[in-house]
Structure 1
Amino acid sequence: MNEENRELDKLRQSLDLVDRRLQKMAADMERSHIADYVNLLNRPFSLLWRNLLAGTARGVGIAIGFTFFAATILYVLRILGALNLPIIGDYIADIVRIVQIQLEGKAY
């Protein structure tokens, strides 16, 4: 009888451990929104629309970022060109002139 109780206690402990792990897995799955993801996969047009919007937003962000970066580089090059450094100044002045001509829409 005593040994049966021990085995029952071991079995209860094992089942409690399994129950805790299952509850943790269920909570993790709920946190990961797996149901929303599966629902999204079942509606391909919604998935396409979201990806189209995300791609457009990335493209606009890249364009704005590159414009800001290029403007900053041109600003720094103009400052360096104004310093009249012997070789670098002429090279930078040529680059700035080429960019300004391209921005004005004239042929180089």
Structure 2
Amino acid sequence: MDGPSRHDEFLLNRLNQRVSRMLQEIDKFNIAEYMLLLNNPRRFFWVNFLGGVGRGVGAALGATVVAAVIIFVMQRMVVLNLPIIGDYIAEIVKIVQNQL
């Protein structure tokens, strides 16, 4: 054989480009840092613990804000004195205010 053909060189170049792209993607995801984190159980625990606490606090604050907005809107609807819904909403607002 005379050596690699043009088609073989083309395939090798494409393979080389794809491997280079895959290595860039791996670098983007910080796989090396993740592996170091997995090898240190104490740090892994704290990172996950603090992440969980942050998500929990965020969920609680978000739910509080949403509930406050809903109660505010319901109070404004009571002021409008809607015929059927008004009494029902007024009762719900009274219950919520008594619980606070």
State yes or no: 1:78 paired with 2:75.
yes
CA distance in 1, matches of 2:80, 2:20: 69
Q: Please name the residue that 2:13 is paired with.
A: 16
1:27 paired residue among 2, 12, 24? 24
Q: Please name the residue that 1:48 is paired with.
A: 45
- Pair member with larger Rg: 1
Unaligned 5+ runs, structure 1: 104-108
CA distance in 2, matches of 1:13, 1:91: 75
Unaligned 5+ runs, structure 2: none
Q: CA RMSD in A?
A: 1.8
Deviations 1:21-59 (A, max 9, x none): 332222222222111111111111111101111111111
Over the matched positions of the two proteins, sequence identity in percent amounts to 43
Which secondary structure state, in structure 2, belongs to the residue aligned with residue 86 of structure 1?
coil
TM-score (structure 2 length as normaliser): 0.84
State yes or no: 1:39 paired with 2:40.
no
TM-score (structure 1 length as normaliser): 0.79
How many positions carry a matched residue from both structures?
Answer: 99
Alpha-carbon offset, residue 18 of structure 1: 3.3
Letter in 2 for 1:80: M
Alpha-carbon offset, residue 61 of structure 1: 0.8
